[in-house]
Structure 1
Amino acid sequence: MRAFCEHDAFQCGYCTPGQIMSAVALLEEGHAESDAEIAEWMSGNLCRCAAYPNIRAAVRDVRDQAGGLIAARLSATTPQPAGSAPTRQPSSTRSCACAASAACA
């Protein structure tokens, strides 16, 4: 949550709870390798203020500060069967209010 404040990812606050929950999940599942991957796994959360670049910056900040500790903690507490796939699949299309904007690209 501190990263969201530091990167001005709150804006109006309407989408913040869902954004934070999704960010925690994608970090724990190891889906934050690139901006494109972060954007894809966060694509189900709509932000009316178009704070997507700030939200991605907050996720990157937490990822970089954690240095892989989040994924390691999850795998240590919840063993996954060999070859198991993630339970949530990213959407193939992005539906957002600002689809023509570079913020969603």
Structure 2
Amino acid sequence: MIRNFEDMQKLGQTNVDSAMKMLGEWNKNWQAIAAEMSDYTKRSFEESTATMEKLMSSKSVEQAVEIQTSYAKRAYDDYMQQMSKIGGLYASMAKEAYKPVEKILQNGG
């Protein structure tokens, strides 16, 4: 229970501090996610370009199919690895966002 004005101020300041910390963590996590997606996009584009160059210089249909099959496997594996990494970043962001709420609940509201 809040008995006086100082307790109310202290509670308000604690809530503001928690909110600012949470926003800082969200910002940091969103930046990490954006950087990961940017790196993935760059890698994917470079891989696609290199594969297209190989396809253009292939000597036979069999070689072209082999190049395309190899590219499809690498692209799929890279995509799945990237999505797993991004999923981990989202999970970390959710955990960080819940910490202030958990603290309030543990302290009895």
Question: Does TM, normalized by the shorter one, top 0.5?
Answer: no
Q: Relative contact order (alpha carbons < 8 A, sep ≥ 6): 1 or 2 greater? A: 2
Task: Pick the TM interval, shorter chain.
Answer: under 0.3
* TM-score, structure 1 as length reference: 0.23
* TM-score, structure 2 as length reference: 0.22
